[in-house]
Amino acid sequence: MDLPVFRAALDDWLDEHDAELRGEHAAGGSLDDHMDQLSHVKRTAYDAGWMRWGWPEHVGGLGGSSLLRAYLGEALTSRDLVEPGIYSMTEVLVPTMIDYASPELAALMVPRMLRGDETWCQGFSEPDAGSNLASLACRAVRSDDGWRVTGQKVWTSLAQYAQRCVLLVRTGTTESAHRGITALFVDMDTPGITVRPIETMHGAPEFCEVFFDDVVVPFDRMLGDEGQGWAAAMDLLPFERSTALWHRAAYLHRRLELLLDAAPAGSLDPARVGEVTQLLYAFRLRSRATQYRMASGGQLGAETSIDKVLLATVEQAVFDLAEDALADQIVLGDDDAAERWRSEFLYSRAATIYGGSAEIQRNIIARRLLDLGSDR
Ligand SMILES: Cc1cc2nc3c(=O)[nH]c(=O)nc-3n(C[C@H](O)[C@H](O)[C@H](O)COP(=O)(O)OP(=O)(O)OC[C@H]3O[C@@H](n4cnc5c(N)ncnc54)[C@H](O)[C@@H]3O)c2cc1C
């Protein structure tokens, strides 16, 4: 299906089904509400076909360009039907499943994620391995019944809701840091897994500590071969820094429009509004080019660090502007709108951390794109 035809038909469908899509949890502000709303919207959109376009047919998709699903994400977030951060897990994790899981596993699992029947999480970061991910220490050793995993992950978004985890483990020696990593697709109800949610400063237990105590993972749950975990992670991270950010920009656009409506007269400096608008358009143009590159079969790589830096910059600029214009409401307000602006302002601080910190993105740009020195 062509993008213009898809856009028009999807917009009509969304208009027609707006009330149905805004289920009982749409107005709620808690993470539980957002998760229930996300499943409801994904299920409704999947059953009507929309959630399947842009994904390959061998994993339950209907085929077509990835631009189709980029527009679906844009439409759902800008209509405030889903929370953009939790929606993006699909864009982050499903492409890697398609690229690295066995065809049978991908065909079985991907439709569950697309339909919102399951949530998956990403177990990469550890207490001593964040920016320096290759130093991760969560270990898996071979046994007769599969890999036995022992160790800890941290900042694992949505782990308390997840049925599965894309998990990086060390299976080789630390001397061969990158080659000694393997990616596993782990059932979160396997005995030996303990999940402890962490409350963030914006008040939602969005991420978790996850402990693995001799957890058995069958060998057919490897994503790629033993030792290919670093390649799988490098496949995944550019999606986290690019396609997943396209619909986030649409959501920021909508919030900026609402801010301009909500701000008291005289509370906004027109020059700053201009600067923020310019940052937003710069990001959207950049992200648009990335979507088209991916849709035409181009590989995403280090260039996506530019997308991530621009996104984090504009996200913080939008909510800095909100903090200035709506200061009383954000600091003192106790209605739902005030709570939402306050929560979004606080959460925007995370934009320079999640998906790789701003400093790390700048290191990648300097070293790998501008050739300003070696990695080490
Ligand atoms: C909202 C949110 C959700 C997240 N979700 C997940 C998830 O689902 N799964 C997951 O695995 N992880 C997740 N993370 C973790 C995230 O990927 C890490 O926080 C991030 O990679 C930074 O690692 P760290 O926290 O260990 O900080 P550190 O690596 O300890 O860095 C601390 C500071 O030092 C700077 N620094 C470190 N090394 C360098 C260097 N070489 N040059 C310059 N500066 C440097 C960093 O930029 C940072 O400012 C999430 C984080 C957030 C905030």
The verdict on residue 129 lying in a domain is yes
Question: How many Å lie between the centroid of ligand 1 and the Cα of residue 306?
Answer: 17
Last residue of a domain, one of 177, 210, 232: 232
Please tell me the distance between residue 353's alpha carbon and the centre of ligand 1 in angstroms. 5
Last residue of some domain: 118, 149, 171?
118
Q: Which of 83, 91, 240, 323 is an active site residue?
A: 240
Which CATH number does the domain housing residue 12 bear? 1.10.540.10
Q: Is the CB of 130 under 6 A from ligand 1?
A: yes
Domain that holds residue 351: 241-369
Q: Which residues pair with 144 in a beta bridge?
A: none
Return the percent helix, strand and coil in the chain, to nearest 5.
55, 15, 30
Q: Which atom of ligand 1 is nearest to the CA of 132?
A: 29
192: left (phi over 0), alpha (psi -120 to 50) or beta: left
Domain boundary among 232, 252, 272: 232
Q: Rounded to whole angstroms, how far apart are CA atoms 323 and 278? A: 19
Residue 367's contacts (CB-CB under 8 Å, 6 or more residues apart) are 373, 374, 375
Our answer to whether residue 240 is catalytic in this structure is yes
Position in ligand 1 atom list of the atom nearest CA 358: 47
Rounded distance from Cα 134 to ligand 1 centre (Å): 13
Asked whether residue 193 falls in the same domain as residue 250, the answer is: no
Number of domains, the chain: 3
374 within a domain of the structure (yes/no):
no
**Considering the domain boundaries, does residue 375 fall inside one?**
no
* Spatial separation of the C-alpha atoms in residues 226 and 229, rounded to whole Å: 7
Residues 133 and 88 reside in one and the same domain: no
Instruction: Please check whether residue 174 lies inside any domain of the structure.
Output: yes
pLDDT tens, N- to C-terminus, the chain (376 residues): 899 999 999 999 999 999 999 977 777 789 999 999 999 999 999 999 999 999 999 999 999 999 999 999 999 999 999 999 999 999 999 999 999 999 999 999 999 999 999 999 999 999 999 999 999 999 999 999 999 999 999 999 999 999 999 999 999 875 577 889 999 999 999 999 999 999 988 888 999 999 999 999 999 999 999 999 999 998 888 788 777 899 999 999 999 999 999 999 889 999 999 999 999 999 999 999 999 998 998 888 899 999 999 999 999 999 999 999 999 888 888 898 899 999 999 999 999 999 899 999 999 999 999 999 875 5
In the block, tokens 């903090």 appear at 323
- Ligand 1 touching residue 356 (CB < 6 A): yes
Is residue 376 in some structural domain?
no
Distance CA 358, CA 327 (A): 26
